[in-house]
Amino acid sequence: MTPPVPRSGQPAVRPYRGRIAPSPTGWLHAGHARTFTVAWRRANAAGGTCILRMEDLDTARCKPVYAEAVYDDLRWLGLNWEEGPDTGGPHAPYVQSERGEIYRTWWNALRDSGCIYPSPHSRKDVREALSAPHGDSGEAVFPARLRPPPGARGGRTATRAGNWRVRGPDDRAIRFTDGCRGDTEYTAGRDFGDFIVWRKDGYPSYEFAVVVDDHLMGITEVVRGEDLLLSTARQQLLYEAFGWSAPAWYHCTLVRDADGRRLAKRTDARSLRAMRLAGVDPVRLCGRLFASQR
Ligand code: GLU
């Protein structure tokens, strides 16, 4: 089929492509139900596509039993997904642990550009080394003094070099417009520091894999929880480093318990799986979730 020719002076409008991107590191909860439902509804309302991507790079925490529950929970919620890798049938999910070669190719490209560097410091080292206060988010900001001088690229292989970090543009404002919250701004070097893109265990970090995937999968809008707002700021820097345009962003407010605490994957009693097995009506659950919050 021939694609429609855009009228001169008008950019071609890309069809909406969204994604549901769970990590099978625990039982999903009502917050996931809301975020994934928003993602699915926005794709449908735009007449677009919604894909499923299983984000299973945290090998220590991901378990097949959680992945199985994700599929069952999504079906229970009435959320279906489209396409998938050729090998897995028409509605197979994309699975990050099967995409190692792709990430390695793009990691090589980033390394050759000089905007990342090998760092022997783990997140724990950074937390321990910091006497300075953490960023507003409470997150330990990597201190610039631990950064090697520009031009020091280190070893050629990921595994020998420890973690690899992005050399941050200190004090630069990172701005984006969020579909839910409006204009949003963070400052590199204050709200977050040089972040890890490649882990010393040979896997890409969440930030890196998600940017490569969202770009290669043609995602036009990322819908996720607002606990990942800082990650979005970091990811904007990666889009810039790759020379790719970033998708639109839509961060959903978090679902909280009666005491105002964020829901956690650890609490099985509040999991979607537990509700599903107890015969809760998913339509009523969604009605409640959308009644009071965005
Ligand atoms: N996999 C992440 C999570 O379950 C979400 C990542 C994203 O939406 O970018 O928290």
Ligand 1: residue of 40, 55, 66 to mutate (most ligand atoms within 8 A of CB) is 55
Q: What percent of the chain has a predicted confidence (pLDDT) above 70?
A: 86
Nearest to 247 by CA among 198, 145, 177, 187: 177
Q: Which residues of 182-209 are buried (b: 16+ CB within 10 A; e: fewer)?
A: eebebbbbebbbbbbbbbbeebbbbbbb
Mean pLDDT of 60-77: 96
Mean pLDDT of 186-194: 95
Expressed in angstroms and rounded, the spacing between residue 98 Cα and the centre of ligand 1 is 17
Question: Which sign does the torsion angle of CA 284, 286, 289, 290 carry?
Answer: negative
Beta bridge partner(s), residue 116? 166
Active site residues: 265
Expressed in angstroms and rounded, the spacing between residue 209 Cα and the centre of ligand 1 is 11
Write out pLDDT tens, residues 5-59: 445 555 567 899 999 999 999 999 999 999 999 999 999 999 999 999 999 999 9
Q: Model's pTM, two decimal places?
A: 0.89
Do 233 and 192 contact (CB within 8 A), yes or no? yes
Mean pLDDT lowest among 131-140, 178-187, 225-234: 131-140
What are the pocket residues of ligand 1 if the criterion is a CB atom closer than 6 Å to any ligand atom? 21-23, 55, 210, 224, 228
Expressed in angstroms and rounded, the spacing between residue 35 Cα and the centre of ligand 1 is 10
Residue 1: predicted pLDDT: 37
Ligand 1: residue of 51, 52, 206 to mutate (most ligand atoms within 8 A of CB) is 206
3-state secondary structure of 241: helix
Nearest to 44 by CA among 291, 211, 216, 221: 221
Mean pLDDT of 75-103: 86
> Measuring from atom 8 of ligand 1, which residue has the nearest CA?
224
Residue 120: predicted pLDDT: 87
Write out pLDDT tens, residues 95-131: 999 999 999 999 999 999 989 999 988 777 777 776 6
Q: Which atom of ligand 1 is nearest to the CA of 55?
A: 1
End-to-end Cα spacing for the chain: 38
Expressed in angstroms and rounded, the spacing between residue 232 Cα and the centre of ligand 1 is 11
Pairing label, strands 116-119, 182-187: unpaired
Give the CATH number of domain 99-212+233-244: 3.40.50.620
Ligand 1: residue of 27, 228, 251, 271 to mutate (most ligand atoms within 8 A of CB) is 228
Expressed in angstroms and rounded, the spacing between residue 72 Cα and the centre of ligand 1 is 18
Query: How far are the Cα atoms of 46, 108, 261, 266 from residue 258, in angstroms, in the given order?
Result: 34, 47, 7, 17
Give the CATH number of domain 11-98+255-294: 3.40.50.620
Residue 270: predicted pLDDT: 83
> Measuring from atom 6 of ligand 1, which residue has the nearest CA?
21
Mean pLDDT lowest among 114-123, 134-143, 217-226, 245-254: 134-143
Would you list the domain boundaries of the chain? Answer: 11-98+255-294, 99-212+233-244
Residue 2: predicted pLDDT: 39
Query: Could you give the residue ranges of the DSSP H alpha helices within 78-177?
Result: 100-113, 123-129, 158-161
Write out pLDDT tens, residues 196-213: 999 998 999 999 999 999
Residue 153: predicted pLDDT: 54
Write out pLDDT tens, residues 130-158: 665 555 566 788 988 889 887 665 555 55
